[in-house]
Structure 1
Amino acid sequence: MARKIGSRYTANQILGRGSAGTVWLGEGPDGPVAIKLLREDLASDQELVGRFVQERTALLGLEHPRIVTVRDLVVDGNDLALVMDLVRGTDLRTRLERERRLAPEAAVAIVADVADALAAAHAAGVVHRDVKPENVLLDMQGPLGPGGAHPALLTDFGVAKLIDSPKRTRATKIIGTPDYLAPEIVEGLPPRAAVDIYALATVLYELLAGFTPFGGGHPGAVLRRHVTETVVPLPGIPEELWQLLVQCLAKAPASRLRASELAARLREQLPTLAGLPPLEVDEPDPAEEEAGEPAPAAAPEAEPVRRRGAVSLVPGARPDSNRDTHTSMRVPAPDELAGGAHGTARVPRAAGAPRPGSARHRAAVRRRRVTLGVAGVLVAAAVGVGAWFASADGDDQAPQDTHSTSAP
């Protein structure tokens, strides 16, 4: 059912829903547009409306080939909406769910495009604050790039900042999606440009592995891992690409690359990645991660579990609720961040290899210990038998030696 948005736009069809609002296919004076209509409770917040108007100039001035352009901001009664260019394609999450993981060349080409978008935004003083696959759109009408990748555009600039008002979050809440939050945000520090680099590196890791480096399990555990855990190498990843990932996932913001540097470094590596197949990596099982045991087998008639890169923050939420997650969470206390994190990191491993700490892994360790123990006993026995023979041989030869030395 069509509805008017302000005096210039008409929303005709829902394209997607998220926790911050609904995206519509709309029509404006210059043709088709995408309209993000924020939730009614957000539109009724006068402080947020004021911030919305204040951000108008910055958002309308943010233009770059890799950024989905914001054409207009509408404040009309209970309607609060961003009018954006319509991108004919899909989002990166949809492609990731379809293919599970991408070939390194395609993954790096897409992330390089997003890094270009962030470089332009950071130069204009705008921090995205919610970089994730859901906010990366793939233009299916654009020319194919390295690895057959469609041009990538970053969308939803300014939405996280608009919702993150002091009244709404104060100093005890976090705005964003847990899997992609930089450690400094978890610790309550103000978000700078480096948080986007950390989130984008997390996206690259996810495109290569099929899962995020610190995700899985309860959101609180995810936040803790960002602060306390070190990312574990992916089997089969080229060393130069891995070192780039590690630098951009550094806990210290100052250690990460700037967006322009990241884009240049990624494109330098594209020739060496041509033709490489997707990595063969087993995804850590959340049940194993929490309990250290394999998850029970599902009943034959049970529906397959859909794995997602991001953890849903709202119990019982709609399946697509984390496609636009701007949900506030409590900032963990220092003692919560310091304790209980050891051993909770998701450990990538070669396909078929047991997860460290799992029942299969412990059984393999026990078998190795038994094998080594038996080998040790056999070696000790062999040494003992050898020593016995040496002693016996010495006893037999002693009189001869004595006799020979006493001969005239």
Structure 2
Amino acid sequence: MSGQGDVIDGRFELLERLGSGGMGTVWRARDTVLHREVAIKEVRPAGPELTAEQSRVLRERVLREARALARLNHPHVVTIHQILDTPASPHPWLVMELLPGRTLQDLLEEGTLTPREAARIGRELLSALRVAHAAGILHRDIKPANVLLRERSPQDAGGTPSVVLTDFGIASLSGSTQLTATGDLIGSPEYIAPERIRGTGEGPAGDLWSLGLVLYVAVEGVSPLRRGTSLATLAAVLDSPVPPPVRSGPLAPVLGALLVRDPALRPDADRLDAMLAAVADGTTWQPTAISQRPATAVGAPSTPVGPISTPVGAPDATMGQPAATVDPPPAEPRRRTPVIVAAVAVAFALVAGAALVLALRGGAGTGGDEDKAGKRPGPTTPPASPDAPPASGTWIAQLFSEPVGSGEAARDRRLAAVRKDVPEAAYVRSDDYASLRPGFWVIYAPGPFADGRAALRFCAERGKTSGDTCVGRYLSSSGGDYGLQCKPPVSAPVGRCTRA
């Protein structure tokens, strides 16, 4: 075991231990040749002595981190200077740029970030990931402890420290061989993307899921999928509802878009950057009416995996289970309380990255309406999608939602089933409204409704009296209206039922 004062490779004097983890220790060191301070990562795994095969795997993992970092030149990716492979040490050492020993994890232990601060950090991490992904590198272990902080200059607006992504030790390079036996899983369980656990394919979208969780923790102050054991945490990542964010304000739609269990429904990097930029600038992200469908992740299935449920008021595949929305409380001041606490087990599972609810009449039973072929649509013939989306500022009764990735046939089957009880039901795509989560066909009753309570009364008259069967939703071009969700019972609605 190395100690303070030791000289590595006859050149690097160890000055101070900066931090330790399961894979070793990072030291502040002095380069006695160039007369500068650097960071050196000593790879020494905790636990019992490694077998020869385990040592080989670990050595290759360290070398892979070095190669990954050496291929990247970006202000938000830690810079590697060289790799030391000395006979005196059974494992290589990495010599890197020295950054303050403070991490995003340390910052969050002082209190949560505001949505704007988190969005700025998110954009910087995203810029690092875009460079890595373009080089064929997947990070696969994005978490607050792997995000180092670099203080901004005083004139830089915002004041939030700039971030540097580090610890590419388990990164996946294009063309590299697997380092672990089939079925082995490396990474931090609570931040691992569901598709990695399922083994259904990996791609850049997996890193974006992890980024979404980092932003959730940064603003909400809880790690939503952490459980008491690693196995329980992995199970929660696969199936447990994710608690709806209550402090995230304008960042909530971004979290909803990222924390979708089907990687094909997550936004691509360009769209995500636009969403984060709007939040960071203090404005509202405005989606376009078309061409907003997320790109399919490399190796990802084109349809959702498993059941879909949603956060407060967003639709899911079984109707949406839209729980009541709570107005975000004021941002917390910095305080010396741990930010990451035991995860909350509440309903939300997020392959539901979108919730669009629109006011549109169309369909059988409305009296006199005809489809474009001149035939009155019957209960099994869904209407055509509207030529123009309904205007902003409309309340509707959300009855069901179907992921866009499920295909139009699935949407039409669901619409036909809903029309058995509500003949005037129609559908619209959620991407057209900033107040809803993108990526869904939303099946709804158009009203018109004066407010969310009126929508609930309409549903109650038809026997739909639970949050699994009806929710009043507000259509708006403003992401700040996402919280306008009105959930049964009619006698005492839960959530926000009016815009005033």
Q: TM-score, normalised by structure 1?
A: 0.63
In structure 2, the residue matched to 1:32 is 37
The aligned amino acid for 1:179 is E
Whichever residue aligns with residue 308 of structure 1, its letter is I
CA RMSD, Structure 1 to Structure 2 (Å): 3.5
* 2-structure distance, mates of 1:306, 1:245: 22
1:135 matched residue in structure 2: 146
**Maintained 8 Å contact 1:138/1:151:** yes
1:194 and 2:205 correspond: yes
On the 8 A contact 1:72/1:83 being kept in 2, the answer is yes
For residues 91-170 of structure 1, what are the structure 2 equivalents within 5 Å? 91-99=103-111, 101-140=112-151, 142-143=153-154, 145-159=156-170, 166=178, 169-170=180-181
Q: Match for 2:42: what amino acid?
A: L
Taking the aligned partners of 2:342 and 2:83, their CA distance within structure 1 comes to 29
Partner of 1:4: 7
Equivalent position of 2:96 in the other structure = 84
Q: Residues 86 and 305 (structure 1 numbering): CA distance in 2 closer, same or farther, change over 3 Å?
A: closer
TM superposition shift of 1:241: 2.6
Deviation sequence 1:9-30 (CA, Å, 0-9, x none): 2322111110010010012244
Letter of the 2:13 partner, please give it.
T
Task: State the 1:229 CA deviation.
Answer: 3.0
Residue 259 of structure 2 is matched in structure 1 by: 249
* Higher RCO (C-alpha 8 Å, min separation 6): 1
> Which letter does structure 2 place at the counterpart of 1:139?
R
Residue correspondence of structure 1 range 12-31 to structure 2 within 5 A: 12-28=15-31, 29-30=33-34, 31=36
Q: Which residue of 2 aligns with 1:308?
A: 340
- Matched residue count: 292
Contact 2:110-2:337 within 8 A present in 1 as well: no
The equivalent of 2:282 in structure 1 is 272
Cα deviation code 1:321-350 (max 9, x no counterpart): xxxxxxxxxxxxxxxxxxxxxx944779xx
Measured in 2, the distance between the counterparts of 1:307 and 1:54 equals: 32
Aligned-pair CA distance for 1:57: 3.9
**Matched-pair identity in %:** 34
User: Equivalent residue of 1:138, what SS?
Assistant: strand
Task: Decide whether the 8 Å contact of 1:9 with 1:26 is kept in 2.
Answer: yes
CA distance in 2, matches of 1:159, 1:26: 24
Shift of 1:59: 2.5
Structure 2, unaligned runs of 5 or more: 285-327, 350-488, 493-500
2: CA distance, partners of 1:310 / 1:144: 38
TM-score (norm 2): 0.52
Pair 1:203 & 2:203 matched: no
Structure 1 unaligned spans of 5+: 281-303, 312-342, 349-368, 373-408
- Point out the structure with max Rg over C-alpha: 1
Given residue 15 of structure 2, which amino acid in structure 1 is its aligned partner? N
Contact 1:177/1:310 (CA < 8 Å) preserved in 2?
Answer: no
Distance of 2:212 and 2:222 partners within structure 1: 12
Do the aligned partners of 1:74 and 1:82 also contact (CA within 8 Å) in 2? yes
2:481 corresponds in structure 1 to none
**Closer, same or farther: CA 268–146 of 1 in aligned 2, 3 Å:** farther
For residues 173 and 309 of structure 1, the distance between their equivalents in structure 2, rounded to whole angstroms, comes to 27
Q: Give how far 1:42 is off.
A: 6.7
The answer to which structure has the higher helix fraction is 1
- 1:148 is paired with a residue whose SS is coil
